[in-house]
Amino acid sequence: MKDNFFKDLKKEVLEIKDRNPHLSDDSAFVAWFLRAFITEDEKQAVNSLTGQAGDKSSDSIFTDHDNRIVFIVQGKYHSHKHPNEPRSHIVALADLGRSIVCERSEAFKAILNKANFIVQKSLEEARSFIHKRDYQLVLRYVTTGKISDTNIEEGESRLDEFDNARFETYSYKDLMRLMQDYIEGAAPPVPTISLPVQGTEVFSRSDNSTGITSWIFTMGGTEIGNLFKDTGVRLFARNIRGYLGNTEINRVMKSTVKKEPEFFWYYNNGITIVCDEAKQIKKGTSNIIKVTNAQIINGQQTTRNLFLSGKNDAEVLVKLIEITRDDETNKNQYSHLVSEIVSATNWQNAISQSDLKSNDAEQVRIEKEFKKLNYFYIRKRMSKSEAVRYGANKYSYRISKAELARAVAACTVDPYEVRLGKDRLFEDDIYSKLFNGRKTSEYIAIYWLYRYVSSWSKGDDRTVYAKWHVLNLLWGLLEHDLKKNLYRDQFRKIVERGNRFYRELQPLNKLIKESFKLALSFYRKNKKIDGKMQEARDFFKHINFHKKFFVFYKKSSQHRQKINSQIKLLLNNIEKSKEE
């Protein structure tokens, strides 16, 4: 695994140097880390490099304005070994961070005096963002060497007293895991693979009007399973789902492989692979198709089950589609065609509207941005064990796409839409309103408000059905303030540390409790509709009732005063907590 890691890393570093010949190995290594785990824009990563004498422990200073975070990265690239990093290097980065976040400026000025001009300017700008605009500071010491636990603890301890700063280290072992994450995210393409044809029959079709070439042929089940064994989950990056686990269809599939392998070709829908380039090579009895940047967009469950079955005698129908992407038109065609093929062919396990949006650009953006804030976003339907395979256990919080959609819908459109079911929220007309490119921290603020409201709704059927209207009302009342950077980001920080900020969050709990009282009063006074008494589950499932509920809130002076007073206290507590 060690040799593979250095081989993979060296390849990444060399490719960055090919595109940026002026970079040293060390600088290219830092640029790779930035591109892989902080910003996907390689140009931004390279432009953030300082990489020269007088860099004062900062090989890169990158500011993420969307998430209001300043990243300072110090990198050490040892291409074939992993020596121990000296204590002085670890402490120097931690002390730099301390000088930046500390109110007193003497230590910071002393560091600036010894820094080169580029670093001086970048550090001054970073300090300004942190002190004047409430940005966070994240320091990362990244090395292919080793870092002792003692040195890590010492570095962390120098910033323990500051809530707006984090000191993180990534040693050789950490980078091995991160490289796996990087690969599983399909950011590097799948390497060229060989598809051995079973038998002699290969149907080939070239379409001059589209430039698309296709092949249909048969592969052995063991060879299909080996594709996953050799390349891992990045082979399915463009698939709309993860592995679904022990479903009925998957159980039947495994049984067929074991008991009736000779009939598998007839029972199974086969797999569909798209690629950038394919070439058939015949040598004697050997017949293979070499494929570049392959993606299995239909047949993940089949591939995974064949892998789990080990060596077997099953045969599988394969459809291979070569789609060139040498210009913008072809790129658009590729994206459209892949999306349509996925939609048209993934029916052996039931497909949903939610599944079809799994690879939408906004979903991918949310996933990557959430990771920066320590949230794992489950944008694809998958089993729990599959989520762990994708790294869910490395993050403090997990949010599913469906859960976020319900929360955002209840807050921003008619709660009636939520009651129509999950798939309704992923139909184009609603989806575009929910996932409209809003700031990541706004998604998270909505999610936490949803969690608190959901918690208070338990124990009474009436409040369970009323919760979407309560959530809609509260977001309507809090939205103006929670869209401000000061309140939104600090709200996230205190709800994440709920035990520590229990007192500060009491107004939120009282606010929600009072809002549910208002909702039940609204129900009692209006539950007779068209001469019939409505159950809560039916009452709160009417179009535009959120508007009537808001009017009721405006007219209910006693409830309104209590709600507004708690909002004022909550906002005051959020602002004060920033000073602690």
Query: Distance between CA atoms of 346 and 301, rounded to whole angstroms?
Result: 10
Answer with the residue of higher pLDDT: 261 or 36.
Answer: 261
Average pLDDT over residues 499-510: 95
Q: Please tell me which of 110-119, 219-228, 374-383 the model is most confident about, judged by mean pLDDT.
A: 219-228
Q: Does 36 share its domain with 158?
A: yes
Q: Does 149 share its domain with 206?
A: no
Which of 329, 349, 369 terminates a domain? The answer is 349
Q: Does 268 share its domain with 131?
A: no
pLDDT of residue 512: 98
Q: Does 395 share its domain with 344?
A: no
Q: SS3 for 523-548, per residue? A: HHHHCEECCEECCHHHHCCCCCHHHH
Instruction: Please check the confidence at residue 196 and state whether its pLDDT lies above 60.
Output: yes
Instruction: Please check the confidence at residue 389 and state whether its pLDDT lies above 80.
Output: no
Average pLDDT over residues 198-225: 93
Flag whether 379 is in a domain: yes
The predicted-structure confidence for 261-297, as pLDDT tens digits, reads as follows 999 999 999 999 998 889 999 988 889 999 987 889 9
Flag whether 545 is in a domain: yes
pLDDT band for 480, please (50, 70, 90 cuts): very high
Flag whether 497 is in a domain: yes
Of 290-294, 349-353, 425-429, 568-572, minimum mean pLDDT range: 349-353
Q: How many of the other CB atoms lie within 10 Å of CB of 150? A: 10
pLDDT of residue 209: 86
Instruction: Please check the confidence at residue 544 and state whether its pLDDT lies above 70.
Output: yes
Average pLDDT, the chain: 89
Q: E-assigned strands of 403-467?
A: none
Q: Does 34 share its domain with 56?
A: yes
Token pair for 82: 């992993």
Flag whether 306 is in a domain: yes
Instruction: Please check the confidence at residue 168 and state whether its pLDDT lies above 70.
Output: yes
**Segments forming the whole domain that contains residue 204:** 193-349
Q: E-assigned strands of 11-54?
A: none
pLDDT of residue 184: 40
DSSP state of 290: E
Q: Does 472 share its domain with 493?
A: yes
Which of 184, 208, 224 terminates a domain? The answer is 184
Flag whether 355 is in a domain: no
Average pLDDT over residues 72-87: 89
Flag whether 82 is in a domain: yes
pLDDT of residue 55: 57
Pick from 557, 204, 242, 286: nearest CA to 391: 242
pLDDT of residue 89: 94
Instruction: Please check the confidence at residue 157 and state whether its pLDDT lies above 90.
Output: yes
pLDDT of residue 143: 95
pLDDT of residue 327: 55
Q: Does 402 share its domain with 461?
A: yes
Q: Does 178 share its domain with 203?
A: no
Answer with the residue of higher pLDDT: 405 or 352.
Answer: 405
pLDDT of residue 11: 84
Instruction: Please check the confidence at residue 186 and state whether its pLDDT lies above 50.
Output: no
CATH number of the domain to which 107 belongs: 3.40.91
Pairing of strands 295-298, 286-292: unpaired
Query: Distance between CA atoms of 29 and 16, rounded to whole angstroms?
Result: 8
Q: Does 49 share its domain with 143?
A: yes
The predicted-structure confidence for 37-71, as pLDDT tens digits, reads as follows 788 678 899 999 986 654 567 899 999 987 789 99
Q: What is the total count of domains within the chain?
A: 3
What strands lie across the sheet with 286-292, from one edge to the other?
193-196, 286-292, 277-283
The predicted-structure confidence for 103-131, as pLDDT tens digits, reads as follows 998 989 988 888 888 888 999 999 999 99
Percent of the chain with pLDDT over 90: 62
pTM over 0.75? The answer is: no
Are residues 313 and 286 in contact, defined by beta-carbon separation less than 8 angstroms?
Answer: no
Instruction: Please check the confidence at residue 364 and state whether its pLDDT lies above 70.
Output: yes
Query: Distance between CA atoms of 418 and 421, rounded to whole angstroms?
Result: 6
Token pair for 418: 């939520």
Rounded (10°) CA dihedral 333, 337, 340, 344: 160
**231 backbone dihedrals φ, ψ, rounded to 5°:** -115, -20
Flag whether 175 is in a domain: yes
Q: Does 131 share its domain with 155?
A: yes
Q: How many of the other CB atoms lie within 10 Å of CB of 168? A: 15
The one-letter amino acid at 501: F
Q: Does 164 share its domain with 269?
A: no
Token pair for 450: 């949803």
Query: Distance between CA atoms of 362 and 171, rounded to whole angstroms?
Result: 32
Instruction: Please check the confidence at residue 510 and state whether its pLDDT lies above 50.
Output: yes
Flag whether 354 is in a domain: no
Instruction: Please check the confidence at residue 413 and state whether its pLDDT lies above 90.
Output: yes
Average pLDDT over residues 458-481: 96
Pick from 437, 431, 295: nearest CA to 354: 431
Query: Distance between CA atoms of 408 and 440, rounded to whole angstroms?
Result: 12
pLDDT of residue 48: 93
Q: Helix, strand, coil % (nearest 5) of the chain? A: 55, 15, 30
Instruction: Please check the confidence at residue 369 and state whether its pLDDT lies above 50.
Output: yes
List 138's β-bridge partners, or say none. Answer: 71, 166
pLDDT of residue 56: 61
Token pair for 339: 């999306």
Query: Distance between CA atoms of 119 and 345, rounded to whole angstroms?
Result: 53
Q: Does 148 share its domain with 220?
A: no
pLDDT of residue 192: 76
pLDDT band for 183, please (50, 70, 90 cuts): low
Which of 142, 166, 184 terminates a domain? The answer is 184
pLDDT band for 185, please (50, 70, 90 cuts): very low
